[in-house]
Amino acid sequence: MEIENEIILDRNDDIAVFLIRGDITAQSEPRINEAYKQLDDRGSVQAILIQFEEDAYINSGGIAVLIQILAQTQKKRSTYWNYRAFRTF
């Protein structure tokens, strides 16, 4: 059973933080894209950190969504992508 996700966008100086609760699947795409758009509206950052809950589930569709965001970021070349998963939220 898929757990509804919540994405909270935070910013610490020049680092954007996506706090992700719940499962990441292809159905998460609209929420992730909206958070990314909000980040884009706030200006350039040096890093994007993605923080998942400890028991988060991600399937191939969710990985594809994250890769899509990576590709968009690389096209802009104004921000850099850093990926790090934490054990706790």
What is the full DSSP assignment across the chain? -PPP-EEEEEEETTEEEEEEES-BSGGGHHHHHHHHHHHHHT---SEEEEEE-TT--B-HHHHHHHHHHHHHHHHH-SS-------S--
Tens digits of per-residue pLDDT, 33-77?
A: 888 888 767 667 777 888 888 888 889 999 999 898 888 877 765
The per-residue pLDDT for 59 is 92
- Domain edges within the chain: 6-76
What CATH number is given for 6-76 in this structure? 3.30.750.24
pTM, rounded to two decimals? 0.70
How far apart (Å, rounded) are the C-alpha atoms in residues 51 and 19? 5
Torsion of CA 82, 79, 20, 13, to 10 degrees: 100
Tens digits of per-residue pLDDT, 5-45?
A: 888 888 888 788 888 888 889 998 998 888 888 876 766 77
